[in-house]
């Protein structure tokens, strides 16, 4: 773990968790693929960020008070122009604890959920599942002890009930499972490395497509001292 | 720490033997080891005197010879002092039967016991346990032998946090025809825990399969356990209690909510190749099936039956357990038909299941078993044997067992378990072929063989 990561973790300690922009910075430091994104405090900054990412964009609330962004109406997807961006910005800026907006490129593919947790008996464990916001409805996840190698990660993916979604379902092309496995294996090493500070990690969603795998959102819950 | 001396001590001192109470655990343990175990057994009681004309010693220091294993059954408050005396006397291991430690809130006493053992590097079982079952060397279960059945010797080693479950499983495995190599009830596991005993049994020659009743691991010990399972070849079967989620706790992340304690436990142990039994019946079937000579298994099942109904029930059970029943090609079916006796050649079903009909003889069962064992598309054979058919004889078990050895493939059998068919059952079991008392049980055995790591 490098000093930059340590600084971010210390900053999140007060809230007990690390917000999305910082979480993505940590993931990038571990060479994990995250969506291109920008942070904006003002509408003008948001517009510049959207221009450089390319429309359409996703806007998400950045607030230490909001752990589950979707539940709080804190995510607006499919923003195609400045008008829509202004509306989104106004809505998000009214949310409690508003510090700014994170603008994200629009990724697509099969939505996966990857997670990690420090288990008292087994140490770092990782989860892979068919994801998105309905992850807790289907509970279709495989759990493995970290760190994993890529072969273990591939095996975990094929243990999912919904694996057909990854293998090309009803005419859709198969996703790059090797890329997903590589991401899961690297993520398991990162979570293991962070085991003394980070209690659990949600990467949700992770988009898997024929072109690769991309983390679109991340949240790190920290151990309380 | 060398655990072998725990299981094979040359001498045992039982501390806390009562002269007045024949039901006192220490007295029961003293009596049964004195009368039945290979280890030289001494009784210790602070007042000395005699029990059944044998001397009792006032302390371990007065025992007239070296003591390998101390079995301690005194009140909890006295245990740390007694353990210190044992360490001074140079014992090589101890079992603390007494309760009254962390399970009743006396963590201080347990911590002292733990510190003493750690400092002396002394292997200690318990406290609050039944301890070791390792005949003919030693048996610290404080149950009078006349209250137990005679436990069959064999290749299954059992580890149980609960003493009661250990005894139940010893009885059930014996009744089902699987034998025991050793057993240990680990109780509060202050010093030695599941990981220590798993490591010992991994290298223990008489043990071929390790069965564990697990409640939960100490901090970080689940990981150690999983690493150990991953590194060993012998099959590990576990039955986990406490599977229902505990009280709801506020959970801030999806991961914490999805990765509940039991799910993590189960999936991690399956990841490293352990086999989960979901209930006691499965536990016994799995241990019994895996106690045989290690042979390569697999998920493709061939079924031999003399009754269409039995074959159908077995097929359904295989399907539900994720096992396959490969079709036989037309040319192979003709080849099989040619090996059957004239009487049934025209009426037998030569698909999979092979249905030999009620007119089948021993020779037909053997021919069909040999045929399926020889098929490259079949990994395990399930033989549904109905001893009430007129042309089947008690020779069938020994001859089928021979075929298994010849082909190096496993076969499991179903025979209804009633006294009358004992001679049939023995024919299989005495020759190393496991026998289940239900069709489902036989399929469970096949599943265990499919799940084992390939030798």
* pLDDT at A177 exceeding the cut of 70: yes
* Closest Cβ–Cβ partner in B255, B256, B264 for A122: B264
The average confidence (pLDDT) of chain B is 93
Structure tokens at B260: 């509940």
* pLDDT at B453 exceeding the cut of 80: no
Q: Which residues of A touch B219 (CB under 8 A)?
A: 120-121
CB atoms within 10 A of CB B219: 9
Structure tokens at B329: 């090609």
Q: Which residues of A touch B259 (CB under 8 A)?
A: 115, 117, 119, 125, 127, 141, 143
Q: What pLDDT, on a 0 to 100 scale, did the predictor assign at position B250?
A: 52
Whether the CB of A152 is below 8 Å from some CB of chain B: the reply is: yes
Q: How far apart are CA B128 and CA B95, in angstroms?
A: 9
With the CA atoms of A194, A195, A198 and A204 taken in that order, what torsion angle do they form, in degrees rounded to the nearest 10?
80
- The alpha carbons of chain A give a radius of gyration, in whole angstroms, of 17
CB atoms within 10 A of CB B342: 6
| DSSP single-letter state for residue A98 | -
Neighbour-count burial of B147, counting CB atoms closer than 10 A to its CB (0-12 exposed, 13-18 middle, 19+ buried): exposed
Whether the CB of A122 is below 8 Å from some CB of chain B: the reply is: yes
Whether the CB of B256 is below 8 Å from some CB of chain A: the reply is: yes
Structure tokens at A4: 């930059």
Q: How far apart are CA B110 and CA B80, in angstroms?
A: 9
Q: What is the mean pLDDT of residues B421-429?
A: 93
- The alpha carbons of chain B give a radius of gyration, in whole angstroms, of 25
Q: How far apart are CA A155 and CA A152, in angstroms?
A: 5
Q: What is the mean pLDDT of residues B369-394?
A: 96
Q: How far apart are CA B268 and CA B329, in angstroms?
A: 40
Q: What is the mean pLDDT of residues A155-167?
A: 92
Q: How far apart are CA A48 and CA A42, in angstroms?
A: 10
Dihedrals phi, psi of B383, to nearest 5 degrees = -105, 120
Q: What pLDDT, on a 0 to 100 scale, did the predictor assign at position B417?
A: 76
Quick: pLDDT tens for B284-322. 999 999 998 888 889 999 999 999 999 999 999 999 999
Alpha helices (runs of H) in A43-109, residue ranges in sequence order: 43-53, 82-93
Q: Which residue has the tokens 């202004």?
A: A86
Structure tokens at B169: 């499983």
What is the CB-side half-sphere exposure of residue B89 using CA atoms within 13 A? 23
CA distance B269 to chain A (A): 9
Antiparallel, parallel or unpaired: β B435-436 and B411-414: parallel
Q: How far apart are CA B288 and CA B294, in angstroms?
A: 12
- Contacts (Cβ under 8 Å, ≥6 apart) of B3: B93, B123, B192, B196, B197, B200
* pLDDT at A192 exceeding the cut of 90: yes
With a threshold of 0.95, tell me whether the complex ipTM lies above it. Answer: no
CB atoms within 10 A of CB B114: 19
For the residues of A184-195, what is the DSSP string, one character each?
HHHHHHHHHHTT
Q: What pLDDT, on a 0 to 100 scale, did the predictor assign at position B247?
A: 47
Note the Cα B401 to chain centre separation in Å.
22
Antiparallel, parallel or unpaired: β B131-134 and B138-139: antiparallel
With the CA atoms of B209, B212, B218 and B219 taken in that order, what torsion angle do they form, in degrees rounded to the nearest 10?
50
* pLDDT at B222 exceeding the cut of 80: yes
Q: What is the mean pLDDT of residues B344-372?
A: 96
* Closest Cβ–Cβ partner in B216, B217, B255 for A117: B255
* Closest Cβ–Cβ partner in A123, A152, A200 for B256: A200
Q: How far apart are CA A127 and CA A148, in angstroms?
A: 11
Judge: A219–B253 Cβ closer than 8 Å, yes or no: yes
* pLDDT at B152 exceeding the cut of 60: yes
Q: How far apart are CA B63 and CA B167, in angstroms?
A: 31
Lowest mean pLDDT among B177-181, B187-191, B240-244: B240-244
Antiparallel, parallel or unpaired: β A198-209 and A212-215: antiparallel
Structure tokens at A186: 């690297």
Quick: pLDDT tens for B61-93. 999 999 999 999 999 999 999 999 999 999 999
This prediction has a pTM of 0.91
Neighbour-count burial of B447, counting CB atoms closer than 10 A to its CB (0-12 exposed, 13-18 middle, 19+ buried): buried
| CA nearest to B266 within chain A | A143
Q: How confident is the model at residue B136 (pLDDT cuts 50, 70, 90)?
A: very high
Q: What pLDDT, on a 0 to 100 scale, did the predictor assign at position B156?
A: 97
Q: What is the mean pLDDT of residues B174-187?
A: 94
* Most distant CA pair in chain B, distance: 82
Q: Which residue has the tokens 């140079």?
A: B90
Q: What is the mean pLDDT of residues B252-260?
A: 72
Whether the CB of B322 is below 8 Å from some CB of chain A: the reply is: no
Q: How far apart are CA A82 and CA A5, in angstroms?
A: 34
Q: How confident is the model at residue B252 (pLDDT cuts 50, 70, 90)?
A: low
Q: How far apart are CA B223 and CA B229, in angstroms?
A: 10
Q: What pLDDT, on a 0 to 100 scale, did the predictor assign at position B248?
A: 43
Q: How far apart are CA B156 and CA B158, in angstroms?
A: 6
* pLDDT at B177 exceeding the cut of 90: no
Whether the CB of B267 is below 8 Å from some CB of chain A: the reply is: yes
Whether the CB of B255 is below 8 Å from some CB of chain A: the reply is: yes
Distances, alpha carbon A165 to alpha carbons A133, A209, B45, B227, in Å: 16, 10, 71, 32
- Which residue, among A47, A44, A29, has the nearest Cα to A189 in the 3D structure? A29
Quick: pLDDT tens for B83-125. 999 999 999 999 999 999 999 999 999 999 999 999 999 999 9
For the residues of B394-442, what is the DSSP string, one character each?
TTHHHHHHHHHHHHT--EEEE----GGGHHHHHHHHTTT--EESSHHHH
Q: What pLDDT, on a 0 to 100 scale, did the predictor assign at position B245?
A: 64
Q: How far apart are CA B300 and CA A56, in angstroms?
A: 52
Quick: pLDDT tens for A32-47. 999 999 999 999 999 9
* pLDDT at A131 exceeding the cut of 90: no
- Which residue, among A164, A166, A168, A156, has the nearest Cα to A128 in the 3D structure? A156
Report the interhelical angle of B439-451 vs B308-320 (nearest 10°): 40
Quick: pLDDT tens for A144-153. 999 999 999 9
Antiparallel, parallel or unpaired: β A212-215 and B11-15: unpaired
Residues 204-243 of B with CB under 8 A from A: 216-223, 226
From start to end of B281-353, where are the E strands? 301-305
Q: What is the mean pLDDT of residues A56-79?
A: 92
Judge: A123–B221 Cβ closer than 8 Å, yes or no: no
Q: What pLDDT, on a 0 to 100 scale, did the predictor assign at position A68?
A: 87
Helix, strand, or coil (residue A56): coil
Judge: A119–B222 Cβ closer than 8 Å, yes or no: yes
Judge: A115–B253 Cβ closer than 8 Å, yes or no: yes
């Amino acid at each position: 773990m490098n000093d930059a990561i340590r600084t971010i973790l210390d900053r999140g300690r007060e809230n007990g968790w690390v917000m999305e922009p910082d979480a993505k910075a940590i993931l990038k430091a571990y060479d994990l693929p995250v969506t291109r994104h920008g942070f904006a405090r003002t509408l003008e900054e948001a517009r510049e960020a959207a221009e450089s990412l390319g429309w359409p964009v996703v806007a998400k609330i950045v607030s230490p008070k909001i752990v589950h962004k979707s539940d709080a109406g804190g995510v607006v997807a499919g923003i195609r122009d400045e008008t829509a961006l202004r509306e989104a910005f106004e809505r998000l800026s009214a949310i409690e604890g508003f510090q700014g907006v994170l603008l994200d490129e629009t990724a697509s593919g099969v939505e996966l959920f990857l997670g990690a947790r420090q288990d008292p008996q087994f140490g770092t464990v990782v989860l892979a599942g068919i994801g998105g916001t309905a992850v807790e409805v289907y509970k279709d996840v495989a759990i493995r002890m970290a760190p994993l190698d890529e072969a273990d990660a591939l095996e975990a993916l094929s243990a999912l009930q919904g694996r057909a979604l990854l293998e090309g379902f009803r005419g859709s092309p198969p996703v790059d499972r090797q890329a997903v496995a590589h991401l899961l294996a690297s993520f398991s090493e990162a979570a293991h490395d962070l085991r003394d500070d980070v209690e659990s990690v949600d990467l949700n969603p992770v988009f898997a497509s024929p072109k690769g795998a991309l983390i679109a959102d991340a949240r790190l819950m920290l151990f309380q001292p | 720490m060398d655990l072998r001396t725990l299981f094979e001590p040359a001498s045992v001192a039982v501390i806390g033997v009562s002269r007045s109470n024949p039901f006192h655990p220490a007295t029961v343990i003293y009596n049964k080891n004195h009368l039945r175990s290979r280890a030289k057994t001494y009784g210790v009681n602070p007042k000395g005197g005699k029990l059944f004309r044998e001397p009792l010693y006032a302390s371990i220091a007065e025992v007239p010879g070296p003591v390998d294993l101390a079995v301690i059954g005194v009140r909890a408050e006295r245990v740390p002092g007694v353990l210190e005396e044992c360490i001074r006397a140079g014992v090589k291991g101890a079992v603390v039967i007494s309760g009254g430690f962390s399970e009743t809130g006396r963590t201080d006493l347990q911590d002292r016991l733990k510190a003493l053992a750690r400092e002396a590097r002394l292997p200690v079982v318990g406290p609050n346990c039944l301890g070791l079952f390792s005949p003919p060397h030693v048996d610290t279960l404080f149950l009078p032998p006349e209250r137990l059945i005679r436990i069959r010797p064999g290749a299954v080693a059992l580890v149980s946090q609960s003493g009661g479950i250990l005894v139940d499983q010893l009885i059930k495995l014996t009744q089902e025809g699987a034998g025991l190599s050793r057993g240990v009830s680990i109780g509060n596991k202050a010093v030695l825990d599941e990981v220590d005993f798993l490591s010992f049994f991994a290298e223990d020659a008489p043990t071929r399969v390790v069965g564990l009743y697990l409640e939960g691991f100490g901090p970080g010990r689940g990981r150690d356990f999983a690493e150990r399972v991953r590194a060993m070849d012998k099959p590990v079967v576990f039955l986990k209690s406490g599977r229902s989620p505990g009280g709801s706790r506020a959970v801030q992340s999806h991961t914490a909510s999805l990765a509940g304690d039991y799910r993590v436990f189960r999936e991690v142990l399956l990841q490293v190749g352990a086999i989960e039994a979901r209930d006691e019946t499965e536990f016994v079937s799995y241990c019994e099936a895996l106690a045989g000579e290690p042979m390569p298994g697999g998920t493709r099942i061939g079924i031999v039956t003399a009754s269409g109904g039995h074959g159908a029930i077995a097929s359904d059970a295989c399907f539900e357990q994720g096992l396959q029943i490969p079709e036989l090609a037309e040319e192979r079916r003709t080849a099989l038909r040619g090996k059957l006796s004239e009487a049934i050649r025209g009426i037998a079903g030569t698909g999979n299941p092979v249905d030999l009909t009620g007119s089948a003889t021993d020779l037909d069962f053997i021919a069909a078993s040999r045929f399926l064992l020889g098929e490259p598309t079949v990994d395990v054979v399930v033989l549904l044997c109905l001893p009430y058919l007129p042309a089947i004889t008690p020779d069938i078990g020994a001859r089928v067992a021979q075929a298994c050895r010849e082909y190096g493939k496993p076969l499991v059998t179903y025979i209804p378990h009633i006294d009358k068919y004992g001679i049939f059952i023995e024919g299989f079991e005495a020759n190393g072929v496991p026998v289940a008392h239900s069709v489902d049980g036989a399929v469970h055995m096949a599943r265990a063989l499919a799940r084992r790591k390939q030798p």
